[in-house]
Amino acid sequence: MAKILHIGFWPRELRWRRFEGIRRYAIARGLEVVPVRSDEVPDISSLRAALALHRPIGAVAEWGGFAPTFPPHAFGHVPVVFFDPPDRAAWRGVLTVECDEEAVARTAFQELSTGLPPSFAMVSYVSPKLPRWARKREAAFRSLCAAAGKACRVFPTRRDDTPQSRAKRLAAWVADLPRHCAVFAIDDYRAVETMDAFAAVRRALPYTATLVGANGAGAPGGIEKYSISTVEIDFELSGYLAAKALLGGGEGTAVPRYGPMLVRRGKTTHGRGRHEPWILEAVETIRREACDGLTAAALAARQTGSRRNFDRRFREAVGHSVLEEIRQVRLERVLTLLSNTNTPFGVISDMCGFGSEVELRQVFKARFGVSMTQWRSQHR
């Protein structure tokens, strides 16, 4: 059986998602995908040994500033597709698949801005010399803040930082942020260290600030420990697009791009920083019961006052309606079932609280721009 080699540098969960995307495209064409971790190919000679061993018809490779970087010539005559390569001469003209970093920043900004925060802040990369992906995310987020007429504080990085000195400086920085400030951590690792800093100065989220990370994994344990909201990036689609480009299934000359699916919400944006316990309680109820058929009317009936007043105050605090919040939670569950199971669409609609399969199809197409059948084919 012909083989494709996947050289993966990312943390295990993200690397696995990309592998799954590559495999799902390749397996339908009778090809095997062989995963190779970065520690198995620490230099060019070991990479070439792996190529000689497996004799692949092509390769898909990560590029990462924190891991071995192999230019195209290292693969010899083996065709290769790169994820997000650097803007350097050696990579010009090669097949690539790129993340829409502007869309990542925009999704994070939208999640943070719905609570009408008085100010924004950002924790960027660990080094003053930003990799291209971080540079694009930072520039896009700054631009969005400026367009909204808001200043954006950015945590300053230093070349001579140690982990201990950075943690100390970050704690002092978050302690000085205004109340209800909305913070974008440029990736999940930065989100976890930012939450460590908030915990160190005893600032409770989301009451005194809100926080969103990005990538949807990549910081083992920390995202779940703190229940951090994070922009979920479609890494499976990136693998699928890379395999398609490698095997000649691309369309035109445009670089294939992947981006965010949705925000996987944790407690760091519940209530969007508003000091109103009833909002947090309402959001928690939605997360528990949305897929059990909870309606906006039923939730309002549990509150004091009129439904109209409840809807108005919820929208003021969260930035959108109760119905939109319920729909968001249901769609998160739909995506999980579509990508991880063969559950029929009609059963999914029942399991996720939709009135019918027709309603689910309409809501899904409006939200993601593709049908459930198309989405599942790209993620299975």
In terms of Cβ atoms closer than 10 Å to its own Cβ (0-12, 13-18, 19+), residue 283 is buried
Q: Which CATH architecture has domain 101-234+263-273?
A: 3-Layer(aba) Sandwich (3.40)
Q: Is the pLDDT of residue 346 over 80?
A: yes
**What pLDDT does residue 152 have?**
94
Q: Is the pLDDT of residue 274 over 60?
A: no
User: If you average pLDDT over every residue of the chain, what do you get?
Assistant: 85
Q: Considering the chain, tell me which residue range(s) the CATH 3.40.50.2300 domain(s) occupy.
A: 3-99+235-261, 101-234+263-273
- Candidates 227, 164, 220, 219; CA nearest to 197 is 164
β strands within the chain, DSSP E = 3-8, 32-37, 58-61, 80-83, 95-99, 120-123, 152-154, 181-185, 209-215, 229-233, 257-258, 260-264
357-379 confidence digits (pLDDT tens): 999 999 998 888 888 888 888 76
Least confident of 68-77, 274-283, 290-299, 306-315: 274-283
Q: Is the pLDDT of residue 299 over 60?
A: yes
302-332 confidence digits (pLDDT tens): 887 788 888 888 887 777 788 988 998 888 8
In terms of Cβ atoms closer than 10 Å to its own Cβ (0-12, 13-18, 19+), residue 102 is middle
pLDDT bracket for residue 139 (50, 70, 90):
very high
**What pLDDT does residue 271 have?**
63
**Is the domain covering 277-379 a CATH 1.20.1560.10 domain?**
no
**What pLDDT does residue 106 have?**
92
- Candidates 138, 133, 13; CA nearest to 66 is 133
**What pLDDT does residue 182 have?**
93
- Its pTM stands at 0.77
**What pLDDT does residue 218 have?**
57
Q: Considering the chain, tell me which residue range(s) the CATH 1.10.10.60 domain(s) occupy.
A: 277-379
6-39 confidence digits (pLDDT tens): 987 666 666 678 888 888 888 888 999 988 877 7
| CA 359 – CA 197 distance, rounded (Å) | 43
Across the strands, what pairs with 96?
Answer: 82
- Candidates 30, 22, 122, 89; CA nearest to 62 is 22
| CA 75 – CA 6 distance, rounded (Å) | 12
pLDDT bracket for residue 184 (50, 70, 90):
very high
Q: Which CATH architecture has domain 3-99+235-261?
A: 3-Layer(aba) Sandwich (3.40)
Top-ranked range on mean pLDDT: pick from 223-227, 240-244, 260-264: 240-244
